[in-house]
Amino acid sequence: MIIGILGSGSWGSALSIVLSGKGHTVYLWSNDPLEAEKIAKTRRLAHKLPGVTVPPEVKVTSDWSCFMPGAELLVVAVPSKHIRSLARLLAGGLQGRPKLIVNATKGLEAGTLLTMSEVLEEEIAVHTPKADRGVLALSGPSHAEEVALLLPTAIVAAHADGALAAEAQEIFQTPRFRVYTNTDRKGVEIGAALKNVLAVAVGISDGLGFGDNARAALISRGLYELSLAGRGLGARPETFTGLSGLGDLVVTCTSRHSRNRKFGELIAQGYSPDDAEEEIGMVVEGRTTVQAVPALQQRIHAELPISNEVYAIVLEGKDPRHAVESLMLRELKSETWPGSSG
């Protein structure tokens, strides 16, 4: 199978290693010709995936015309803030050919509250009406640093059409990369997006030295927020107890690989958001997704208190210690899960 991976960052590169290992013909595309040339020559992403070698079988390019006409699968793995502009380019390049398109980007578009798969579908429908198979989401607790080293990972392929999800499952499944299917794509993508915001909160808490109790409270109440937001947007609540909900939330809030958690730690140490992201040297998706929080609360007619405080810290400059006080001194209430009778 010919596969094109759009995005040569850590996640796109990790997926190229997984897929090329199955014998697929894999093209790794970068929009930066200099970056593509460097990866092609060195076979490394020194800063993004230290110690990892991109296999020689992976064809690195900045010209997708060399694979687009024949590609049977396209994987989108670019930062969420670039997804719509890429979608427009992608739609023009499809030339009416219906391909299997997998979205591997996590986020919510601030203005529309669309998931990344929905953004892709919207642009493709406008420019390429014949490409009507839809977009499948690939998500779950899967730090690129570990996937690239072929450490055991479990992930979810999500689409309303279970047969389509199963098709992707077969393509990606390996002895070290286990793929489950889920027909609740909306829920899978909401969990994947909002857990990044919650990981920023955990990073802030850790950076302030608030300890394990605070971290556990943020993760458990964060899971409540994921489920609340998901139900409000039409997702199934049980999705958030799965890999793309609880699983992704735990790994992003606790891993040393988590950019979002590190971003929060740096904010707690006095870094500005710009300086914190520059220090990390890669895109921090939680910083982009948090912009959607006010509109999301308005849409679902409910408060997301942890996410709301992250918004106040990152976008309004609120003192992190004051934000913690705001959370602790909220109106007293019962611990209630969506759909429960409590």
Among all residues, which ones are annotated catalytic? 195
Between the alpha carbon of residue 297 and those of residues 46, 303, 333, the distances in Å are 40, 6, 19
The C-alpha angle 246, 79, 33, rounded to 5 degrees, equals 145
- Interatomic CA distance for residues 285 and 290, integer angstroms: 9
- Interatomic CA distance for residues 20 and 303, integer angstroms: 44
Output the six-digit token pair for 301. 């007619």
Q: Determine whether 132 is exposed, middle or buried from the number of CB atoms within 10 Å of its CB (0-12, 13-18, 19+).
A: exposed
The C-alpha angle 264, 270, 274, rounded to 5 degrees, equals 70
Output the six-digit token pair for 107. 């986020």
The C-alpha angle 64, 278, 246, rounded to 5 degrees, equals 75
